[in-house]
């Protein structure tokens, strides 16, 4: 025999579903408002600290530095090493993402295709690491990337990236990195010094900046060479308009 719910029970279930949907809606609205609020705030205010810094077991050393006091060679180096299309994409490099997916499909060693904008969104608002939370983070990363591309603009994205990116063990930002490795400020980095910092960015805890060897040295030399192309071809124009 078919079983039928009584009117009162059906009403109770509908009421529960409505309350769940109401709370989910409230949480979504709250998240959108908070994420938009912090994005607007950080358009003008230096990012004081990130979750990555707080969770770093080595502690953290940082020194917020305006982009006007960071040598242009550093900007050219990170564009050459991390994101050659920084000035021409809208936050996502679809070709790089597709290539990364193809490589990852045939390899157990995951490699990303993130742009500087995506890395900045992750570094400022989210967390690091792998595991199942990586997929949740990627979704949130896309949302924050859209926000900063449309609210901050390229120059501010670059400024924040160069101040929050991990440049060594317990070291964040290129100013702290320049002081640690070369004993002077990021305002006067040579092309080779900037390239070596940029070469270490994907794995700052493992790659040497001072007297690097092997792949890191070769990668740094390649970045130094491409940095000239970035400058001569105005691939950094969006930062210095």
| DSSP structure string for 144-178 | HHHHHHHHT-HHHHHHHHHHHSEEETTEESHHHHH
Please name which of 191, 215, 190, 185 lies closest in space to residue 203, comparing C-alpha atoms: 215
Domain ranges for the chain, please list them: 11-42, 43-232
**Greatest extent of the chain over all pairs of C-alpha atoms, in Å:** 84
| Angle CA 176–177–178, to nearest 5 | 95
pLDDT of residue 15: 75
- Distance between CA atoms of residues 86 and 230, nearest Å: 11
Please name which of 146, 141, 143 lies closest in space to residue 129, comparing C-alpha atoms: 141
- Distance between CA atoms of residues 185 and 178, nearest Å: 6
pLDDT of residue 58: 95
Burial class, 35, CB count within 10 angstroms (exposed 0-12 / middle 13-18 / buried 19+): middle
pLDDT of residue 10: 65
Burial class, 48, CB count within 10 angstroms (exposed 0-12 / middle 13-18 / buried 19+): exposed
pLDDT of residue 1: 45
Burial class, 112, CB count within 10 angstroms (exposed 0-12 / middle 13-18 / buried 19+): middle
pLDDT of residue 124: 98
Please name which of 104, 78, 109 lies closest in space to residue 197, comparing C-alpha atoms: 78
Q: Mention every residue, 6+ apart, whose C-beta is less than 8 A from residue 181.
A: 168, 193, 196, 197, 209, 210
Structure tokens belonging to residue 157: 């994205």
Please name which of 164, 161, 168, 162 lies closest in space to residue 207, comparing C-alpha atoms: 168
- Distance between CA atoms of residues 51 and 239, nearest Å: 26
Q: Mention every residue, 6+ apart, whose C-beta is less than 8 A from residue 51.
A: 126, 127
Q: Which CATH superfamily is domain 43-232 in?
A: Biosynthetic peptidoglycan transglycosylase-like (1.10.3810.10)
10-residue mean pLDDT profile of the chain (241 residues): values are 59 77 93 97 98 96 97 98 96 83 60 87 92 89 98 98 97 98 97 97 94 94 96 96 81
């Amino acid at each position: 025999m078919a079983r039928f719910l009584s009117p009162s029970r059906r009403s109770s279930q509908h009421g529960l579903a409505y309350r769940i949907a109401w709370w989910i809606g409230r949480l979504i609205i709250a998240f959108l408002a908070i994420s938009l609020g912090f994005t607007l705030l950080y358009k003008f205010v230096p990012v004081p600290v990130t979750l990555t810094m707080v969770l770093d077991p080595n502690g953290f050393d940082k020194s917020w530095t305006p982009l006007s006091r960071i040598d242009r060679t550093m900007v050219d180096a990170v564009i050459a090493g991390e994101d050659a299309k920084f000035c021409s994409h809208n936050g996502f490099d679809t070709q790089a993402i597709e290539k990364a997916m193809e490589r990852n499909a045939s390899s157990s060693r995951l490699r990303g295709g993130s742009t500087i904008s995506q890395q900045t969104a992750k570094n400022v608002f989210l967390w690091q690491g792998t595991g199942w939370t990586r997929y949740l983070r990627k979704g949130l990363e896309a949302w924050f990337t859209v926000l900063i591309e449309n609210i901050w603009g390229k120059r501010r994205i670059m400024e924040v990236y160069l101040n929050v990116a991990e440049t060594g063990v317990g070291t964040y930002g290129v100013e702290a990195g320049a002081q640690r490795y070369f004993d002077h400020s990021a305002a006067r980095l040579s092309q080779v010094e900037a390239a070596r910092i940029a070469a270490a960015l994907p794995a700052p805890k493992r790659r040497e900046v001072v007297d690097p060897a092997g792949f890191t040295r070769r990668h740094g030399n390649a970045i130094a060479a491409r940095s000239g192309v970035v400058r001569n071809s105005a691939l950094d124009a969006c930062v210095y308009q």
